[in-house]
Structure 1
């Protein structure tokens, strides 16, 4: 029986076409779709509702979820786990961690939990969500984490300062402030994407050691650089808006000859759903670029850093043996 798919950031540039592909091609699945603002005042959520409304038989449900709040994230996981236990939703088949945050025009922002907002939304709260919902999977399942080429120093032309996992992990959640808002803002974003991949390797190790969860696998994907993404117009300098309008979008076919991973958001959304559901990718784990297995960065493959970040993430995310089904990490 088809299970439940959770997709965060479901009203995003990637998320909305992903939802439409899911409904069109995997209509037996139940979709739990999270957005920051589920109200009618949000134009992007209304666009998502319009897409869903075109398919009367769609089993798609929109939830408000603020990933910058651990209390909201924990409340969401408890609610979904309860709804799966009581039979309202089928057991999980996949979790797709797509929601993101960046700020290239301001100083680091601390959430109410005391963490850098970019790191909390992109990594910490997603880790909390995944770990608390492991017990709601069926016999097997897939976890898809959204990364990018930014996780590898020197891969993205926007990089001014390379991403890195420091020995002092507190710097990830309380970064220093300086005057270069765009450069440091992008570094915080890139570092969060590096953290996602680094943590993914540790998660797969612990899942494989757990006899009850060793058929749940995790993939981190670089879905490509999406030239039509709203991200380029959100918390970004006006120069990026202009580049999107006058360079990236009109010159995409030419630019793809030099950078094949440049693309629009719609095919990226399709790829993410295929990776999460298609039998072609059953049991896959590790790092992917688009739909091809790929290498991650050398730092993300450092097992000492993987373990250090794994243990610290448990603390940041407030995950204990009482709220996760993953037993091996607490032995």
Structure 2
């Protein structure tokens, strides 16, 4: 039986993305579920297919830090003639807690991976979206100073400064860069939602999602060996204690994966757009995230800097 639609999940080979892919593939064997990451060293696609005794999950390599790689990924997608995308989960993310890093395109790595690569992927795949497609952007409660997550407060100045830090802003800690990138995710979500509202015939929706703190995921791969070992081997075993002492918004990847899958395919959230979810609950995001001037500055910078031609500049700025 041919697949009816596609689901694309970035960062879908481990943790949150893997668990969401498993749920979606189980509930919709008629969907072609594509998990995209730099590598699939644990054979995640095969694991899901073997678990479900299906063959509807495929791995495609994707490096969000590279503009050229994102473009080649989309070229392959279109060459393979995959069916229309019914759910686009922009989920991958990295944190670089140490010194400033830049990609081969000379963009600060946290901003490049957590935002720029995803935005370019969205724009290039826009014509491949099915009517009624859902876009979900994985953010984090760390974007909101009021949540007191333990990370430095997010600090949004301009998109240009986040992409190409000045000598002074280059001193910003990697943990603050991560929190700011999660704020960027929400600013971009709200800017995109306003534009999708001008295209009602397409029926597209976009929402931001906070999976909560999930010890054991690959987010800490850049941490020191001691902290990484604690994150992977110790903290996942004491989740109930952590919820009691720290926050109720602490989950296993399996729990949060179900919440992410719900936003992608759940009937009860169909048609909802332009909002922020903490797990299964719709809540308010940070005060700063509703600043339309910042949303628009980010949108305009992004379109200008990911477009490779005047034609792309025109087509990427949707809803005009």
Q: Could you tell me how far apart the structure 2 residues matched to 1:129 and 1:186 are? A: 25
2:217 pairs, out of 229, 234, 241, with: 229
> Residue 291 in 1 paired to residue 284 in 2?
no
Q: 2:102 aligns to what SS in structure 1?
A: coil
Output aligned runs, 1:27-66, within 5 Å: 27-38=29-40, 42=41, 44=42, 46-66=43-63
CA shift in 2, pair 1:245/1:307, >3 Å: closer
1:113 has 2:105 as partner: yes
Which of 291, 296, 306 is the aligned partner of 1:317? 306
Sort the Cα spacing of 1:290 and 1:227 in 2 relative to 1 into closer, same or farther, 3 A. Answer: same
**Consecutive unaligned residues in structure 1, runs of 5 or more:** none
Give the deviation of 1:185 after TM superposition.
0.8
TM-score in terms of structure 1 length: 0.87
The corresponding residue for 2:259 is 271
SS at structure 2 position matched to 1:63: strand
Offset at 1:247?
5.7
CA offset at residue 298 of structure 1?
1.0
Matched, 1:193 2:182: yes
Aligned counterpart, 1:164: 155
| Counterpart Cα distance in 1 of 2:229 and 2:60 | 33
Residue 304, structure 1, aligned to residue 293, structure 2: yes
- 2:120 is matched with 128
Structure 2: gaps (5+ residues):
none
Instruction: Determine the C-alpha separation between the residues in 1 that align with 2:283 and 2:16.
Output: 21
Aligned residues: 316
Residue 76 of structure 1 corresponds to 73
Asked if the contact 2:307/2:316 (under 8 Å) is kept, the reply is: no
Please identify which structure carries the higher helix content: 2
* Residues 278, 174 of structure 1: alpha-carbon distance in 2 compared, 3 angstrom cutoff: same
Relative to structure 1, the CA distance from residue 255 to residue 276 in structure 2 (aligned partners, 3 Å threshold; closer, same or farther) is same
Q: Kindly provide the CA deviation profile for residues 270-319 of structure 1, in whole angstroms up to 9, marking residues without a partner as x.
A: 21111101111111121111011110111110011111110001122226
- 1:194-250 Cα offsets, whole Å, 9 max, x none, are 00100110101011112553x101011001110222323x11134533543676333
Q: Decide whether aligned partners of structure 1 residues 302 and 36 sit closer, same or farther in structure 2, where only a CA change above 3 A counts.
A: same
CA contact (8 A) 1:4 1:30 kept: yes
Judged with a 3 Å threshold, the aligned counterparts in structure 2 of structure 1 residues 135 and 324 are, in CA distance, closer, same or farther, namely: farther
Aligned-partner Cα distance in 1 for 2:263–2:206: 10
2:241 aligns with 254
Per-residue deviation, 1:65: 0.7
Picking from 8, 11, 35, the partner of 2:10 is: 8
Per-residue displacement from partner, 1:91-122 (whole Å, max 9, x unpaired)?
A: 110100111121113x1111121211111111
Q: Deviations over 1:154-198 (max 9, x none)?
A: 5244313x21210x43221123568998x7111111111100100
Counterpart selection for 2:86 from 87, 93, 111: 93
TM-score by length of 2: 0.90
Q: Secondary structure at the match of 1:62?
A: strand
- Cα-Cα RMSD: 2.6
Superposed, 1:142-221 pairs within 5 Å as 142-160=134-152, 162-166=153-157, 168-175=158-165, 184-213=173-202, 215-221=203-209
Shifted more, 11-20 versus 200-209: the winner is 11-20
